[in-house]
Amino acid sequence: MRTFADPSFFRLFHALLDESCPDRQQTQWSHGGIAWMHQRHSFAGVVCGFSIHHYTMTKTGSHGWSLLVVKEHWWTVRGEDSLRASEWAKPLTGKRNHIMDWLRNEERRIASGSAGGAVSR
């Protein structure tokens, strides 16, 4: 994983999301030293609809950072056809290398099968 646009980044993000919050109705939780926040916005119009999920991951401390991950999905009114789906990520605060270091450590932890930090909600 070299950038926040790599498919490997999104695979890791989804693995961390699944591990940290099996109940997708949660809007705030903490896991492995990271504070998570999730908000969902949706709209259904006459021709099409969309939903946007945005997740903010925040690590506090001397090497603290904040990362925004956005998932967007558009569909036709009947819901039969997906028009577009995309996801992107952008650091909001902190140094990029601190975020990438944390992500690589999590990637190694998951690959080794170690349990994550305690979940608190």
| pLDDT tens figures, 5-53 | 999 999 999 999 999 988 878 899 999 899 999 999 999 999 999 999 9
Please report whether residue 1 resides in a domain.
no
Q: What is the pTM of this model?
A: 0.86
Compute, in degrees rounded to 10, the torsion defined by CA atoms 89, 55, 39, 15: 120
| pLDDT tens figures, 76-103 | 987 678 899 999 999 999 999 999 999 9
From residue 27, how far is each of 24, 32, 54 by CA, in Å?
8, 17, 10
How many domains, in total, are found in the chain?
1
Please report whether residue 103 resides in a domain.
yes
At 49, the amino acid letter reads: G
Distance CA 5, CA 87 (A): 8
Please report whether residue 2 resides in a domain.
no
Question: Taking Cα atoms as reference points, which of 113, 65, 64 lies closest to residue 92?
Answer: 65
Which residues, 6+ apart, have CB-to-CB distance to 41 below 8 Å? 51, 52
Answer whether 52's CB lies under 8 Å from 38's CB: no
Q: Would you say residue 115 has pLDDT above 70?
A: no
Q: Would you say residue 60 has pLDDT above 80?
A: yes
Question: Taking Cα atoms as reference points, which of 99, 69, 66, 103 lies closest to residue 86?
Answer: 69
β-strand partners of 55:
38, 69
Which residues, 6+ apart, have CB-to-CB distance to 32 below 8 Å? 16, 20, 106, 116, 117
pLDDT value of residue 119: 41
**Domain range spanning residue 67?**
7-21+30-113
**How many residues make up the chain in this entry?**
121
Please report whether residue 79 resides in a domain.
yes
Please report whether residue 118 resides in a domain.
no
Please report whether residue 48 resides in a domain.
yes
pLDDT value of residue 55: 97
